[in-house]
Amino acid sequence: MNDSNVIPIWVSFLITIVLILIIARWDLGVGIFIGAVFLALMSVFPYRVDLLQVSLTVFLNWEIFFLAVSVTLIPLLGGIMEESHLMMELIQKLDVPNRMSLMLSPAFFGLLPMPGGALLSAPLVDKIDPQLDSNKKVAINVWFREVIILIFPLQTTFFVIYQILNYSSPYVMTLILIAPFLVMVLIGYLILIKRTPKIQRKGNRNIWIFLRDLLPIVIAPLIDLPARIIIGNYNKKQLEYPGLYPDLPQWLSPSLFLMIGLIISVVFCLFLVKKIQSSYIQVVKPKQLIGISKKMKIWRYPLLIYAMYFFINVFKTSGLPEFISDLNSPFVLFLLISFLFGIGTGRVELPGSILFPIFLTQYSLTIMPYFEFALIYSAIFLGYLITPIHPCMAYSVDYFKTSYVKSFKVVALPILVCIILIFAAYGISLLF
């Protein structure tokens, strides 16, 4: 093929992004697959993408397979906790003052990666303080539901991005993002919560029930994290002492233990709701799992995992990283594009899977620096938080019977403060 007869690679990339954004309105995974195939077909020598080789690399990878199964189990677990009312009981038994409850109720539901999850926390926010302005309720529901996701390691976004960054585990991302998380919680509290009149709590607190109901969520990380540490240390010793340690089987990957932990979590959750002696808790029978799976649309999650890794492999071999690195874009531009990309896509994983490889290539790095990662990821996250195509924003606006414009005026202030702090943090870093 004559290179002069094909679309320049940067034009192909822009068309790819537009394709993904259009198709993502129906299904993000399908959109990413189609965009990746288009980008591969538009690639030229010496960066001609071999689609067969990329497919074999992705679909025969044990790590990706275990991740795909894991992200299928996470929304299933969330659906069981919703159907059984376990999550609702967990929140009620915590029984904290209304200001704290306004933050924690959406946050706990944020731990469950389910479609339309904002509709579950919205009634709680409404019930906690019926007199609160509807637009502020929207802002509180969205802000505190999403802010916990910023550091929650059991999410599709972390599973996709941590390997792009070449971090040892998704928990590294959690540790890095704790500082932005705390800042967002503080800003959200000062702007959205602090002036809310105090309401006395009901006195229904039961910490033991709260901890019991929390167990299904924490079992998987408690199994996954030690396994990642052990395997990571073993691989490190392999590098330090070549020949002394045999290679581990390919299937013995860290994500295998995440999958095992989630299977145990799902089984334990079913067992727990069956054994709890309470008229409030609803028993979930195994035959109901099909209905829960349909409701949660669990097939979308493994599709997204495979689509992301497929796209990343196409992207890396298409010549785009080399082209973009030659542009030598300033980091401030990265931050601005990250925020705008979050707004434009209504996603975090898609901008991350594109921008982080570009950054690593441009600066000739193999591991993403922690500080720059925190800034870029936070900028994407804030754009995603405020966009009108973010489902949680749309659902919250609809539930509280208001408009996006009115709610935007409330949530825009904490977003603006956070964006200013991101650029300020980068500016201060240049002084050292």
Per-residue pLDDT, 143: 93
| Percent above pLDDT 90 for the chain | 23
Q: Kindly indicate the confidence band of residue 5, based on its pLDDT and cuts at 50, 70 and 90.
A: very low
Residue type, 34: I
Least confident of 305-309, 347-351, 388-392: 388-392
Please give the Cα distance from 158 to 171 (Å, whole number): 9
Contact 304, 156 (CB under 8 A): yes
pLDDT in tens, 6-61: 567 778 888 887 887 788 777 778 888 898 899 888 887 677 888 899 999 999 99
Contact 417, 189 (CB under 8 A): no
Please give the Cα distance from 97 to 75 (Å, whole number): 29
Please give the Cα distance from 68 to 225 (Å, whole number): 18
Q: Is residue 164 exposed (0-12), middle (13-18) or buried (19+ Cβ within 10 Å)? A: buried
Please give the Cα distance from 200 to 188 (Å, whole number): 21
Burial code (b: 16+ CB inside 10 Å, e: under 16) for 184-218 equals bbebbbebbbeebeeeeeeeeeeeebbebbbebbe
Please give the Cα distance from 159 to 308 (Å, whole number): 10
Contact 24, 67 (CB under 8 A): no
Most confident region among 149-153, 221-225, 314-318, 370-374 by mean pLDDT = 370-374
Per-residue pLDDT, 3: 47
**For residues 291-318, average pLDDT:** 84
Per-residue pLDDT, 339: 92
Higher pLDDT, 19 or 183: 183
pLDDT in tens, 324-363: 667 777 899 889 989 988 887 777 888 888 889 888 888 8
Q: Kindly indicate the confidence band of residue 119, based on its pLDDT and cuts at 50, 70 and 90.
A: low
pLDDT above 90 (res 182): yes
Most confident region among 20-34, 175-189, 360-374 by mean pLDDT = 175-189
Give me the helices (H) in 148-286, please.
156-164, 170-176, 178-188, 207-240, 254-275
76 three-state secondary structure: helix
Q: Quick check: pTM over 0.85? A: no
| Percent above pLDDT 70 for the chain | 94
The single-letter DSSP state of residue 203 is S
Contact 10, 43 (CB under 8 A): no
How confident is the prediction for the chain on average, in pLDDT?
A: 84
Number of other CB atoms surrounding residue 431 within 10 Å: 5
Q: Is residue 327 exposed (0-12), middle (13-18) or buried (19+ Cβ within 10 Å)? A: exposed
Contact 395, 106 (CB under 8 A): no
Per-residue pLDDT, 186: 96
Please give the Cα distance from 423 to 427 (Å, whole number): 6
Number of other CB atoms surrounding residue 229 within 10 Å: 14
Per-residue pLDDT, 369: 95
pLDDT above 90 (res 139): yes
pLDDT in tens, 249-293: 878 887 888 899 889 999 999 999 888 877 778 888 888 889 988
Most confident region among 112-116, 157-161, 355-359 by mean pLDDT = 355-359
